Structure 1
Amino acid sequence: MNAVAEHTLHLDAKVRKDAQNRLLSAKGHLESILKMLEGEPYCVDVLKQISAVQGALSKVGDIVLRSHLEHHVASAAQRGDTDKLVDELMEVLKYR
């Protein structure tokens, strides 16, 4: 069996749980914004909630990227898929 088949490229369970919790928090902030917009909210209050959602999403992106770098990119040479992972990473970084 080759190294690629032995090494699964999936998001670690702890990271998934952390990401889920942060996304649930972002969802709560987003629902708050929608509820606020049903009334006549103060602009600054809406902007604060938007900032909270953006921060939560950014943090999720950071923890998923860190996990990817630590667990997949760092071992790419051993698996022999360095070029593929570098290409994937360059694609992802276009959106950050």
Structure 2
Amino acid sequence: MNQERTKALTSLRTAKGQIEGIIKMLEDERYCIDISNQITAAQALLKKANILILKQHIHHCVKDAVKHEGGDEKINEIIDILEKVIRK
């Protein structure tokens, strides 16, 4: 597993723990602002993981596709993902 995937996995595992904590906070009827802050933190970890995965994809899959087969499909996949991310 390469460095980007390892870091993404760490971020996802941390986000998973945070989400489990958020669920418990809701069940315990904790203060709404505290819950919202934890949701924001979990979202930041998910975004970080997504960037790391996309970085790995560009450096490996897209780069190889451009060298060997033109890469148009891989480039269009990246554009589609970026459009989704930007719209959020």
TM value normalised by structure 2: 0.83
Q: Does 1:76 align with 2:49?
A: no
SS of residue in 2 equivalent to 1:41: coil
Q: What residue number does 1:21 align with? A: 10
Q: Partners of 1:77 and 1:41 in 2: how far apart?
A: 51
Where do 5+ consecutive residues of structure 2 fail to align?
Answer: none
- Counting aligned pairs with the same residue, the percent is 35
Stretches of structure 1 lacking an aligned partner (at least 5 in a row): 1-11
How many residues are paired up?
A: 85
**Structure 1 Cα separation of the partners of residues 66 and 9 of structure 2:** 30
Q: Is residue 66 from structure 1 mapped to residue 55 from structure 2 by the alignment?
A: yes
Q: Which has the higher helix share?
A: 2
**Equivalent residue letter for 1:47:** S
Structure 2 CA distance for aligned equivalents of residues 89 and 80 of structure 1: 16
Q: CA RMSD in A?
A: 1.5
Q: 2:23 aligns with which of 23, 34, 45?
A: 34
After TM superposition, what 4+ stretches of structure 1 lie above 6 angstroms from structure 2? none
